[in-house]
Amino acid sequence: MAEAEQPQIYLITPPEFELSIFPNRLSGVLDAIDIACVRLALSSTDEDRILRAADALRDVAHARDVPLVIESHLQLVVRLGLDGVHLPDGSRTVRAARKALGEDAIVGAYCGASRHDGMTAAEIGADYVAFGPVAPTHLGDGSFADAEIFAWWSEMIEVPVVAEGALDVAQMRALAPVTDFFGIGPEIWQAEDSVLALRDLVAAML
């Protein structure tokens, strides 16, 4: 994933979805709006389910020249022909992932609201660092990554940064000047019309 002056969209799948429905829904979004990357973020630990989902979404994404990364399951990246891995544990496994996958794979690290973790991940080989959620939510311990973190990062660090979690039109507008990617998932998948919902969010960046 390359940096751009205007933030790019990085889609995150729902934690659960119907394999008979979601690939077509994803296809519709990819055909309608320019997407930089897709993350398969299933909460399931059932390997067969993960394999079937990855196969289906890889075909959808790669047919449109969009990379597909998988959350957490480092051992499946090469086996499934995916483009990389998204690590939810900050900098802890970045070095191991880079060693396992080589220099060409995408290795991303989610670092919550920790600048220190983000800097460490960037220094040891992450291709991008994600911070979030960008506003308080009822999940976790209530911490969130405020605009100051993104402003500081964009000024000081060259590695691209992703803003994700609790995004809305106001947050998209505020963070557009200081982030490289917006990681968007439930913000559109919970909507009846995902394409329309994403168009509304993208318009806020302009």
Are 110 and 69 spatial neighbours (Cβ–Cβ below 8 Å)? no
Instruction: For residue 204, give the H/E element and its range.
Output: none
Angle subtended at Cα 123 by Cα 122 and Cα 125, rounded to the nearest 5 degrees = 70
Q: What mean pLDDT comes out for the span 123-142?
A: 90
Residue 2 pLDDT level (bands cut at 50, 70, 90):
very low
Least confident of 2-16, 28-42, 96-110, 173-187: 2-16
- Render pLDDT for 162-187 as a digit per residue (tens, 0 to 9): 999 999 999 999 999 999 999 999 99
Q: Pseudo-torsion of CA 10, 135, 166, 144, nearest 10°? A: 60
Per-residue confidence (pLDDT) for residue 153, from 0 to 100: 98
Q: What mean pLDDT comes out for the span 24-53?
A: 97
pLDDT cut 70: percent of the chain above it: 97
Q: Is the pLDDT of residue 4 over 60?
A: no
Selecting from 3.30.450.20, 3.20.20.70, 1.20.1250.20, 1.20.140.10, what CATH number does the domain 8-203 have?
A: 3.20.20.70
- Alpha-carbon distance 157 to 141, whole Å? 27
Q: Is the pLDDT of residue 11 over 90?
A: yes
Instruction: List the one residue out of 206, 119, 200 whose CA is nearest residue 161.
Output: 119
Q: What mean pLDDT comes out for the span 31-54?
A: 97
- Render pLDDT for 70-108 as a digit per residue (tens, 0 to 9): 999 999 999 999 999 999 999 999 999 999 999 999 999
Q: Is the pLDDT of residue 3 over 60?
A: no
Per-residue confidence (pLDDT) for residue 141, from 0 to 100: 75
Instruction: List the one residue out of 97, 62, 102 whose CA is nearest residue 81.
Output: 62
Are 81 and 49 spatial neighbours (Cβ–Cβ below 8 Å)? no
Judged by phi (left if over 0) then psi (alpha if -120 to 50, else beta), residue 142 lies in left
